[in-house]
Structure formats: C-alpha cells, structure tokens
A and B are shown apart, each in its own frame.
Chain A
Amino acid sequence: MPTSRHHPGGSAGRAPAPVALVALALLVAGPARAADEIVLGASVPITGVFAFAGVGIHAGIGDYVGLVNQDGGIDGRPVRYVAEDTAYKVDASVAAFNRITSQYEVQLYYGDSTAFSKTMAPELARRGTILMGGDSFASELNDPERFPYHFLSGPDYTEMFGILLRYIADQSPGAKVAFVHSDTEFGRDPIARGTEIAEELGLSVPITIVTAPGSVDVTTEVLRLRRVRPDYTIFHGYVLAPIPEFITQARQMRLRTEFMGTFWSMDNAIVQTMGDAADGFLGVMPYRYYYDESADAPMLAKIREIRPEYQSTAYMQGFVTAMLMIEATRRALATGEPLTGASLKAGLNSIRDFDTGGLIGVPISITGNSVPVGRIYRADAQAGRMVPASDWIVLE
C-alpha cells in the first residue's frame, strides 16, 4: 500500500468549521493502519536539485513494496510505504522523518542525502529501532562502527573507483589516469583513497582537476588535461554537465583518453543526451539497465511489465534498496527476535549469495555496510544504449 503525502494542513485555516472538525478528528485518531504492518518511511527529493533521481527512486520503492504486498507481505505482514518530498534539503528531510516517525511505528527508512544520513546517525542510535538506507553512496557511511544502522545498496564511491581502476589495470597495466571532480563533498569523496588504490594497482594519477560548482566553460580544465595526456579520465561528482563539453573539447584537441563516470552520471537517458560525445563513455554501474533482457534477470521482466516505458538507474536504486530492506526484515523476523535497528541490520548482514532477481548480475553477500559489486558499461551511440564492457566485478 504505497502512500505518498504532501505537507498537511496547508489550507486548514480557510476550511469551513465542520470540515476542520472532521480533519481534526482524523488527526487525533491518526491514520488507519494494520496492527502488524511494517512501515517503510522515506524522505525523497521529488522536487529540487535531485528531483531527476528522486522521482525514479520514489517509483522504484513504491513498485517493490507493491509487489511484496501482492505476494502477501512479509510473512503475512503488509508493508506500508510512506514518503514525503524534501526538495533535497536536510531540514525538510529531518522534518519529514519526524512527522512520519511520529505517526507510524517505522522500522525502515530511506534517507535522501549524505548530510541527512549523517545528521540522523545519533538519532538512529538513540532510537535503536530503524534500519536506514538511502541514495547516498558516500564512503564515510560505509563504516559499521560509526553508522551501525545504515547501509548502502551498492558500492560506496571509493569502491566504485576501485572497480573502475581494477578494470583499467586489467585493460592497460601501468596506465595514466586523471581524476576530474566537482568541488563538493560528493565530488571529493573518493579522490584521496582512489589515488592510493591506483598506485597499489600499478597505475599513476598525474593530475587531479577540480571544477567549481556550476562551472560551465571547462576549456581551461581540458587544456590542463591535454598537457598530461592521460590514458583514462574518471569524472566524479557530476550528473551531466560539464561532462559532455569536457569530452567534446578533449576530442577537438585530439586528446586520446577514455572517459569514465560513476553511478549518478551513468543513467542511460542522461548519457544518451550527451549525443556524439557519449560514444565510448565508460562507467561503473551496480545494477542492470531497464532494457537488459538477460535470462537470469526475471525481476527486470517484471519491472518492464509494471512500467512499459524506460526507468532510470535511480529507479533501480530505489527498487533494490527496498528489496534489501525487506529481505533484512524477513530474516530478522525469522529469528523470532523483536524488530530493532540491530536485529534488522543483523538480518541484512546475514545475506549471503542473495539473488536480486537479476537486478545485480551476481549473487550478493552483505558483510558490512555496502554491496561492493559493479560492472563496467560502455555507451554505444549507435544502439543508443549502455552495453556491458566487463563481467561483474566483486571487490573482496
């Protein structure tokens, strides 16, 4: 029973008295609910700078919860999905969390930014009743000691770099790799550790280029890149701009380098908007794409049945996160212990060789806070699609 709400009480002041009274009675009574339901609350950015992803995430979580309820819920207990829009603002996210948790007994929560996850960590520890996933792949959250009730439904950004660098080391040992990142917390996340990993793999990182947020013209950055002539260039901390212009100018300068990206710049619809610049663009992706018709991906066929039009990688992220949360709940219930943050996390960490219905191409095990699995995809401009460029890479 997916439920999405808007901020309540917007026009209550103008409502006629009987309507207001009924509304008040409803508020006092609280929303109707089944006694044994499992509640998945969510702060989702349906509007604002992250809305391009939030809309897909919201749909993905809602669809998976719908499927679970169709099959009778978790051991007969229905799942209720309650989401509120946050416009990708931490204060709005926290307010949404407070509203949802005060009206429902929430066991699972989807948070919408690294900052929100970090903000809520002490509160989750205090409550000890909630397991939190979200759209952040921040390396910092991948620390079970500091964030015991969090998890990432894919590799963290450093692990994404690890997967990309391992691919590079396999393809061209000793290659020169340039990092280009935005001057944001998101952009800086994997850079220092990524440089160390590159060196461990026998690669060199002769240049790291930082772009100011909102920068449009990147000519000076490409000129700097040209002086180094790297074999590979990894972008991180962007969704689209300024990647296409960067690639276009680099090709005009006759620079031979392979361009790569991380999760948030890898959605097929977004990559294809790069036009000619997209061709050959590589990147790491923990999930299969919507259109993948591999025989071992029955869940994708089901998604295509529910939604005949293309769904973004953000949709897959929401879908997989909900799947892992619900699997963790199922395992926690199976132990007979009460549902707490700790038992839910233990349930999650008991996942071994789990089949995601093919959304992730290999069976996954979750021993810590992340799922360090991914595959390199390459943009094929003719086909208009991202196509696999490697096998699934699992970091130990």
Chain B
Amino acid sequence: MDWLFLFEVAIAGLGAGGLYALAAVGFVVVYKATRVVNMAIGEILMLGAFVFFGFASGLGWPPWAAVPAALVVGGLFGGVVERTMIRPMLGESPIAVFMITVGLGSLLVGLVELVWSPEPRRLPAFLPDAPIFLPTPWGEAYVSPKTAYASAAALVLITGFMLAFRYWRGGVALRATATDRGAAYTVGINVPLVFATAWIAGSVAAFGAGVLLGAIGGISSTMGVFGLSVLVVVIVGGLDSLLGALVAGLLIGLLEALAGTFLGGEYKLLVTFGLLVVVLLIRPYGLFGTREIERL
C-alpha cells in the first residue's frame, strides 16, 4: 500500500468536503429556521460567484474588497428573497414554497446569463497558489493550495456559524423559533426578523461557498449542479443540523475521493447516492438531524 498516496487522496477528499459543508450550511440555516427546502441553493451559490466576478473583474476591485462586497450583496439578496418571495408564502403548503425556490433557481440562471453571458469564465486569482507539501513519515504529501485555503476558510465560517447559534442572542432566537414557532412568538421573539436573518445568513454562506468554489473550478451559469451534491450532504447530515452538515460534508468528500481513486470517477456519484440510500434506510432524519415524524 502506498501510504503517501492514500494520505494525499484523503487530504484532497477532506478539502473538497469542506466546500460541501459550507454550501450545506447555507441550506441548513434556512431549513432550520424556516422549514423551507431551498432548492435554489446551487444557483444562489452560482450568483455569489458571479457577483464576486463582477466586483473583482468587471469593476477591478482588489479581492480584499470584492469578497466582503460579494458577501454583503449575498446578505441583501437573502433579505430581499425572504421579504418578497418567502414571507408572503407563510402558512401556505410547503410544496408551494418548495416550488418557489425551484423557480428562483431557474430565474437566477437566466439573470446570470443575461448579465454575464453563458460563457464559462475564470475568477481572478485571489487564493495563494504556491503548492503546499506536508511532511509525513512516508515523504512529502502534495496538498492543492486552493482547495486547502478554501476549505480552511469554509471551516472558519462554519465554526463562526456554530458559535453564533450557540451563544449569540439572535442565534438562540433562531433555534427557539426552529423548535416551536408559536412558543417563540409568545416569549416575544420577532419571528419574521428571525426568518429574514436566517435567509440572510444562509445566502451569505452560499455566496461565500460560490466564491471559493469558483476560485477552484471556474464559474459558469451551470455551476449550480453542485447544489445536487449539497442536497445529498444535508440529507445525510440531517436537514437541520450544522454539525451534521460539517461531518457529512467531510465524509462525502472523503468517500468520493476514495471511490474516484480506487474504483474510478464514474463510481463517485454511485457511492455518494449509495450512502444516501443507506442513511435514509437506517436513519431517515440523517446522521444528526432532529427525529421527527410527519404524517402526510
């Protein structure tokens, strides 16, 4: 067994998993607070990458200004979507809200193609690109710099979200709303504000994931397909668990890397969806999700 090779593959898988986890957080935050299954997560992520592209390439802003600017736009976007599309649907059937997010995804693809044209593009380089060689007992292991920095940034953001949910008043309010909306109202929590906050935070996470993902793989109006893998991650992790998003993200990243290496790239999705089926059979609410039974 070539341990160095295995180590490198594992690190690469965990790196890719960090990105899954960040996009998954964008999904989980929204679901946790509002119970909305956001099918547009992939497209919101794509929009984030293009907004960054607009600032960094179109307006020529340096990355240290363009990244925060993109995240601010992400927050505004989340707020506007919540106010104009989601809040009016409060109390409507979950399927209707679900379809709204499907429509939103389609709308965003059209918008991006109108504004930036459908051509695939590269983001201006802003992550350090000197290769990293980690010393290991078996020799120097190659780590892709972009993936390493991007997943480190993702981990920092996820940790920030987790701490906020635990200790920040707004985060606690969000958890309270998630647990029991009626009770949250009665203790004076401003539930609509919590909803808006969740959409803002979720969109910021998705925009951040889009920028990092775009920095690695380039951007195009079709990069929203990444959302499909993200859905698998959140279902495996548990739709409403941040820790679940993190663990499942890393797990699926690692599994895909191992499957791609030892079975071939054509087996990656098979293994991922195989895991999804197994998890659904054993724990339908995901590895860390709230156990909840809904009768339809």
Contact = CB atoms under 8 A, between A and B. Distances in A.
Interface stretch (A94-102, A157-165, A218-226, A289-297): A218-226
A248 B120 contact: no
Contacts of B229: 214
Nearest to B130: A252
A220 B217 contact: no
A214 B264 CA distance: 15
Contacts of B283: none
B118 A51 contact: yes
A325 to B, nearest CB: 26
B179 interface: no
Given A47-B110, A223-B8, A216 B269 contact: no
A273 B119 CA distance: 10
A209 B267 CA distance: 12
A242 B217 contact: yes
B217 A216 contact: yes
A222 B143 CA distance: 11
Contact of A270 (B120, B142, B213, B216): B120
Nearest to A243: B218
A240 interface: yes
B218 A212 contact: no
Among B9, B113, B217, the one with the most A-chain Cβ atoms within 10 Å of its Cβ is B217
A266 to B, nearest CB: 13
Given A217-B144, A240-B220, A212 B122 contact: no
Contacts of A223: 5, 8-9, 12, 142, 261
Contacts of B118: 47-49, 51-52, 55
A357 B186 CA distance: 79
Contacts of B9: 220, 223
B264 A210 contact: yes
A242 B145 CA distance: 16
B38 interface: no
B277 to A, nearest CB: 18
Contact of A216 (B110, B131, B216, B261): B216
B145 A252 contact: yes
Contacts of B120: 52, 239-241, 270, 273
A219 B15 contact: yes
Interface in B130-175: 131, 142, 144-147
B99 interface: no
A51 to B, nearest CB: 4
A28 B65 CA distance: 59
Contacts, number: 121
A215 B253 CA distance: 11
A209 B220 contact: no
A220 B264 CA distance: 10
B32 interface: no
A249 interface: yes
Interface in A42-72: 47-49, 51-52, 55
Contacts of A222: 144
Contact of A220 (B110, B119, B222, B261): B261
Contact of A52 (B117, B218, B264): B117
A253 B141 CA distance: 10
B218 A241 contact: yes
B257 A245 contact: no
A214 B12 contact: no
Interface string A230-264: 00000000011110110011001100000000000
A274 B264 CA distance: 26
A6 interface: no
A275 interface: yes
A184 B15 CA distance: 25
A226 B12 CA distance: 14
A8 B125 CA distance: 45
Interface in B249-266: 256-257, 260-261, 264-266
A51 B122 CA distance: 17
B266 A217 contact: no
A216 B265 contact: no
B19 interface: yes
Nearest to A274: B122
A183 interface: yes
B13 interface: yes
A227 interface: yes
Contacts of A249: 144
Contact of A221 (B129, B146, B228, B265): B265
A219 B131 CA distance: 12
A217 B122 contact: no
Select the residue from B8, B129, B221, B265 with max chain A CB neighbours within 10 A. Answer: B265
A211 interface: yes
A298 interface: no
A269 interface: yes
B144 A52 contact: no
Nearest to B218: A241
Contacts of A48: 118
A205 to B, nearest CB: 15
A269 B119 CA distance: 9
B121 interface: yes
A212 B142 contact: no
A206 interface: no
Interface string B208-220: 0000010011101
Query: Top 6 A-B pairs ranked by shortest CB distance?
Result: A210-B265, A219-B12, A216-B217, A51-B118, A252-B131, A240-B120
29 contacts: A47-B113, A47-B118, A48-B118, A209-B265, A210-B265, A212-B268, A214-B222, A214-B223, A216-B217, A217-B12, A217-B19, A217-B147, A217-B216, A220-B9, A220-B12, A220-B13, A221-B265, A240-B220, A241-B217, A241-B220, A241-B223, A242-B217, A244-B218, A245-B146, A248-B129, A252-B129, A252-B144, A269-B119, A275-B122
Interface of A: 47-49, 51-52, 55, 183, 209-217, 219-224, 226-227, 239-242, 244-245, 248-249, 252-253, 269-270, 273-275
